[in-house]
Structure 1
Amino acid sequence: MTASNADLSTILNRILDAAADNLRIAKILTQMGLDPNNVTYDAIFNRLLEIFLHNITLANMFALVGAIFFVATLLTQTMVPLRVANMIGCAFFAAFGALTGTVTTFLLYLLLVPINAFRLRQMLVLIKKARSATQGDTSMEWLKPFMTERKYRKGDILMKKGDAANEMLLTVTGKFLVMEINVELPPGRLMGELGFLTPDNRRTATIECIEDGHVLTITYEKLLEIYFQNPQFGYYFLVLTSQRLLENIARLEGILAQNKLAQQAAAASGPN
């Protein structure tokens, strides 16, 4: 084992001697405080260790911790831990800037701390409301701050059956007609939520605006983000869609019952 280490050290020293013959490398070695005519693996290691120990300062330690938390944000998959790690990392980088007297670094990372704190608070409020919604409140009021407004006029087609779907809508004012089943949607009703669950994200019905109004929209990507922050939202969303499907089934059963009564009435009033 000792002979093997000696052979490796000899090979490395030969490589370093050959590299030292290059003027550019010799200049770099000189800047590092090494003698180009007497370069060994041990000498480089000792010099690097000396540089490392010399630069162990409080400011650099803050920068190192900040870098660790920055790497943690790259490895984090959910937003809440990411925001927390980012805030901690920015705080350490701001301390590094203050200790080294770098005003731009200090101000940049100091500004990022409250921004991340604000976004973190938004996400925590969203999670709290989503969790309370999963416990029985099936209204969509809690989701409105994360939706955007869109206006429609009478005769506008909001969506067509079979089209690609990428957003869910909530009616606020006006009236909208589901053309396939001839059902009006009053304010406060969801539209397009079933497209979120279909395998190919396709619209399952055509909806027309029959009275001027406006809706609130939210993309499926945002819904997925909410789900990843609080998986309970997935259960809540299933409750909403199940309620919608049950309503459709009850409506169809009512239509079938009416048709059956009509047929029976027609048969009873037939030729005597």
Structure 2
Amino acid sequence: MNSSSNADFSTILNRILDTAADNLRIAKILVQMGLDPNNITYDALLNRLLEIVLANITLANMFAVIGATFLVATLLMHTMVPLRIANMVGCTFFVVFGALSGSVGTFILYLLFLPINAIRLRQMLKLIKRARIATEGDTSLEWLKPFMTERKYRKGDKLCSKGDAANEMFLIITGKFLVTEFSVELPPGSLMGELGFLTPKNRRTATIECIEGGDVLTIEYDKLLEIYFQNPEFGYYFLILTSHRLLENNAKLEEIIAQNKIAPPIAVASGTVEL
């Protein structure tokens, strides 16, 4: 039964080939392949294709096939680090292909891709490393600086007001800033605006005013989301880092409340109250 099915399948393919051979364009292609359009069969076509493949198996083409495999694999990857690595491997194989085949364009193109991918990979690995350190108690955001832009503020300037729409996070480099609602002074190295990134409505929870001119680094929430989606592991470490920040802010508030707490009144025999 299998032999009869194969025979039927071969017959169908031969009919398709006969019909295609009647087309002038296809006939020209068949002639270029070394086939007779008037006497074309499935077996003849298969054998000719196999001959062409075997004739073109060269060291250069093997490098090209391997490189193409790695580049196609990048389309199936969900995280940026393995994608960059696979891309660099694929580009390396294509650089060798370009050199062996004498294709100057291919050689230069993929040679330029290599340092670009290497730089982006290094940035991402550094980002992950610094974020991982944050889980061990280091809440420094030095690792975010390459992704941030600098902005200057003068005394009296407001970074944001309570209730405003939030779309960026701040890192103080120099100068001093005041959270007016809580009278909390923020020195250099302080992070501001991270809560707006985590809240559903992205609204500012306090007003921040510049009390001593300085420089601030900013990063938009869209960029933070981009970094997160490029590597979800970063998102996990960023949440831990912001959790540390929340705990620090909570401790500061408790300290302020304890310092400003009014002692309960003491009643005396005369009926007066002393504070």
Within-5 A mapping of 1:68-217 = 68-217=69-218
Is there any run of 5+ residues in structure 1 with no aligned partner, and where? none
Unpaired stretches in structure 2, ≥5 consecutive residues: none
Amino acid aligned to 1:94: V
Q: Which residue of 1 aligns with 2:246?
A: 241
The offset of 1:235, in angstroms, is 2.0
Instruction: Tell me the SS of whatever aligns to 1:37.
Output: helix
Conserved? CA contact 1:195–1:201, under 8 Å: yes
- State the one-letter code of the partner of 1:235: I
> For the residues of structure 1 that align with 2:233 and 2:52, how far apart are their CA atoms?
44
Q: Which residue identity does 1:120 align to in structure 2? A: L
Indicate yes or no: 2:61 matched with 1:56. Answer: no
Contact 2:13/2:42 (<8 A) preserved: yes
Count of paired positions: 267
- Of 27-36 and 116-125, more deviation after overlay is shown by 116-125
Checking the alignment, whether the CA contact within 8 Å between 1:159 and 1:206 is kept in structure 2 is yes
1:197–1:113 Cα change, 3 Å: same
Give yes or no for contact 2:152–2:215 (8 Å, CA) kept in 1: yes
In the alignment, the residues of structure 2 paired with residue 221 and residue 229 of structure 1 have an alpha-carbon distance, to the nearest angstrom, of 17
C-alpha displacement at 1:249, in angstroms?
A: 4.5
Q: Which moved more, 1:90-99 or 1:173-182?
A: 173-182
Displacement after TM superposition at 1:68 (Å): 1.1
Give the Cα separation in 1 of the matches to 2:238 and 2:184: 28
**What is the aligned partner in structure 1 of residue 232 from structure 2?**
228
* 1:26-72 deviation line (CA, Å, top 9, x unaligned): 11221222111112222222222221111111111101111111112
Cα deviation, 1:106-165, whole Å, max 9, x if unaligned, reads 122223223322332333333333323321222333433432210122333322333332
In the TM superposition, structure 1's runs of 4+ consecutive aligned residues that sit over 6 Å from their partners are 265-268
Task: Supply the distance in 1 between the matched residues of 2:180 and 2:200 (Cα, whole angstroms).
Answer: 23
Corresponding residue for residue 24 of structure 2: 23
Q: Give, in whole Å, the separation in 2 of the partners of 1:175 and 1:152.
A: 10
Tell me by how many angstroms 1:171 deviates: 1.6
Equivalent residues of 2:175, 2:188 under 8 A apart: yes
CA shift, 1:233, in A, is: 4.1
Identity across aligned pairs (percent)?
A: 66
For the 8 Å contact 1:174–1:214, the answer to whether it is kept is: yes
Aligned to 1:11: 12
Secondary structure of 1:84's aligned partner: helix
Counterpart of 1:22 in structure 2: which amino acid?
N
Instruction: Report if aligned partners of 1:78, 1:229 keep a CA contact under 8 Å in 2.
Output: no
